[in-house]
Amino acid sequence: MNSGQEARISAKVDTRGHSGLMLKGIKVLTNDPQVPAIMLFMRANIEKDKKD
């Protein structure tokens, strides 16, 4: 990608068996020698399954 271009990043998180606050990180590698990688973080509040 060239400077200024945009792209979409997709991620899936398996929340089965989890409830409450969840924080996950994704490491994105770049072709920028000054910033070779960045971390993106996702935060979610997982509600307990009503069947439980």
Task: Map out the domains of the chain as residue ranges.
Answer: 18-52
Q: Give the chain's mean pLDDT.
A: 90
Of all residues in the chain, what percent carry a pLDDT higher than 90? 58
Which pLDDT does position 35 carry in this prediction?
92
User: How many residues can be counted in the chain?
Assistant: 52
Any idea what the Cα angle at residue 12 is, between residues 19 and 48, rounded to 5°? 15
- pLDDT surpassing 90 at residue 3: no
* Complete DSSP assignment for the chain: --TT-----------TT--EEEEEEEEEEEEETTEEEEEEEEEEEEPPPTT-
Global pTM value: 0.67
